[in-house]
């Protein structure tokens, strides 16, 4: 099924140990889990091609595409010229011909030169052509802050895309989901924005070769009875820590990893809120117009009668991402999440 040529496969072998697809559960970092998922998808479908800046020889600035050029060759792992609009725009053309392009945007803040192609083209083709043209394009975006970076390297632009009809949006939080969801995103006949929590790239965890729960599903990370705490991406681990800390004080928090940001798995969220009666949503992105407000509105419509208190948002401020020395004041941390929990429990203000 694969298009690996003699030359390419020997180049792969020359690169070190002959790569074997994931066949059993292994401990991988989140970055390596994505790499394994990309590789599996490329082996399974010769139409899967990767495009991006520095993704070939260098293996990407985060090394997520390491070794794939050697294995699959330059027609499938494409170091593109430095132009995001062209990366997305040429992916559209490739998709027209039946390819399944996977685009890497080097950092969240660099997606905007490609924004027009995503919003005006990628998102609309299926609707525009009454279903005749599909855009099975995956756009991988390292996102979020907490790494002390320069401007444009720590952004959380997901709400622009959840607001754009025609796009699916996911954000992964752990190696297992990273592996399963990248494969499902690539297999999807819809365009998928796939957000990678860059500050968790090097955190390792078990990864089994399964696809896991469906693309659209949220996951209850820790069961609880008093408060539902909703997070995605890098904040899932902070939320889990917050739940442990709250448990010490006798407060039982149910942590949900949203995974899919569009669509949102409201059934899972609603079931939790019906149980706890209290909802806190957290994200790094700005509060106004953010996903938190939207989720709270939908849950309020669905189960207002089950709410014991007004839901609470714990988010970044409505500011451009600040300089590194100030980012700890912008990013929701454990204390701010617990403060939000206190507020929804009526213990403050």
Partner 1 sequence: MHTVHTGETPAVSLQLLSPDGMRMRSAELDPWVADIEAEDLAALYRDMVVVRRIDAEATALQRQGELGLWPPLLGQEAAQIGSARALRTDDFVFSSYRENAVAYCRGVSPTDILRVWRGTAQSGWDPYSHGMATPSIIIGAQTLHATGWAMGARFDGADSAAVAYFGDGATSEGDVSEALVFAASFQAPVVFFCQNNQWAISEPVGLQAPAGIAGRAPGFGIPSLRVDGNDVLAVLAVTRLALHRARTGGGPTFIEAVTYRMGPHTTADDPTRYRPANELEEWAEKDPILRLRRLLDSLGLFTPELEAETQTLADSTAAELRAGCIGLPDPEPLTVLANVYATPHAGLDRQRAEYAAYLASFDPTGGTDA
- Enzyme catalytic residues: 153
Does 232 bind partner 1 (CB under 8 A)? Our answer is: no
Q: How far apart are CA 76 and CA 48, in angstroms?
A: 7
Does 160 bind partner 1 (CB under 8 A)? Our answer is: no
CA dist 186 → 47, 68, 206, 211, 212 (Å): 10, 16, 22, 12, 14
For residue 25, the 8-state DSSP code is: -
Tell the smallest beta-carbon distance from residue 143 to ligand TPP (Å).
Answer: 15
Does 16 bind partner 1 (CB under 8 A)? Our answer is: no
Nearer to ligand TPP, 53 or 71 (CB): 53
Q: Applying CB under 8 A, which of residues 93, 263, 318, 347 lies at the interface with partner 1?
A: 318
Tell the smallest beta-carbon distance from residue 158 to partner 1 (Å).
Answer: 19
Q: Applying CB under 8 A, which of residues 128, 202, 329, 347 lies at the interface with partner 1?
A: 329
Contact residues for ligand TPP, defined by CB under 6 A: 53, 82, 84, 106, 110, 113
> What distance, in Å, lies between the first and last C-alpha atoms of the chain?
62
28 burial class (0-12, 13-18, 19+ CB within 10 angstroms)?
buried
Q: How far apart are CA 161 and CA 277, in angstroms?
A: 29
CA dist 291 → 95, 157, 168, 203 (Å): 29, 11, 14, 26
Does 83 bind partner 1 (CB under 8 A)? Our answer is: yes
3-state helix, strand, coil in the chain (%, to 5): 40, 20, 40
The span of 95-103, 246-254, 299-307, 321-329 binding partner 1 (CB under 8 A) equals 321-329
Please answer whether residues 162 and 169 qualify as being in contact, where contact means their C-beta atoms are separated by less than 8 angstroms. Answer: yes
Does 310 bind partner 1 (CB under 8 A)? Our answer is: no
Q: How far apart are CA 175 and CA 181, in angstroms?
A: 10
Tell the smallest beta-carbon distance from residue 290 to partner 1 (Å).
Answer: 13
Tell the smallest beta-carbon distance from residue 19 to partner 1 (Å).
Answer: 18
Q: Please report, as ranges, the residues that interact with partner 1 according to CB under 8 A.
A: 53-54, 56-59, 61, 79, 81-83, 85-86, 109-110, 112-113, 148-153, 287-288, 317-320, 322-326, 329-330, 336, 339
């Amino acid at each position: 099924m694969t298009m690996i040529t003699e030359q390419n496969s020997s180049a792969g072998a020359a690169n070190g140990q002959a790569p074997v697809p994931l066949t059993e559960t292994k401990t991988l970092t989140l970055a390596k889990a994505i790499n394994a998922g990309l590789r599996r998808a490329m082996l399974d479908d010769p139409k899967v091609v990767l495009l991006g800046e520095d993704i070939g020889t260098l293996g990407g600035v985060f090394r997520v595409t390491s070794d794939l050029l050697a294995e699959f060759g330059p027609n499938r792992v494409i170091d593109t010229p430095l132009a995001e609009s062209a990366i997305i725009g040429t992916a559209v053309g490739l998709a027209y011909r039946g390819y399944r392009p996977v685009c890497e945007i080097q950092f969240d803040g660099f997606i905007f030169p490609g924004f027009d192609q995503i919003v005006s083209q990628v998102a609309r083709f299926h609707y525009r052509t009454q279903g005749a043209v599909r855009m099975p394009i995956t756009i991988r975006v390292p996102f979020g802050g907490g790494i002390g970076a320069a401007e444009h390297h720590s952004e959380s632009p997901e709400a622009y895309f959840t607001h754009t009809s025609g796009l699916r949006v996911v954000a992964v939080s752990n190696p297992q989901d990273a592996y399963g969801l990248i494969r499902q995103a690539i297999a999807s006949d819809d365009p998928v924005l796939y957000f990678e929590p860059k500050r968790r790239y090097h955190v390792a965890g078990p990864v089994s070769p399964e696809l896991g729960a469906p693309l659209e599903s949220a996951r209850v990370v820790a069961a609880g009875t008093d408060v539902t705490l909703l997070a995605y991406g890098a904040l899932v681990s902070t939320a889990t820590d917050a739940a442990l800390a709250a448990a010490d004080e006798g407060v039982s928090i149910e942590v949900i990893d949203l995974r899919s940001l569009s669509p949102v798995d409201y059934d899972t969220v609603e079931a939790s809120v019906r149980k706890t009666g209290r909802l806190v949503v957290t994200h790094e992105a700005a509060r106004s117009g953010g996903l938190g407000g939207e989720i709270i509105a939908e849950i309020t419509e669905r189960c207002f009668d089950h709410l014991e208190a007004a839901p609470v948002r714990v988010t970044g401020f409505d500011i451009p991402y600040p300089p590194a020395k100030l980012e700890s004041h912008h990013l929701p941390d454990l204390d701010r999440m617990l403060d939000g929990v206190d507020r929804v429990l009526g213990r403050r203000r």
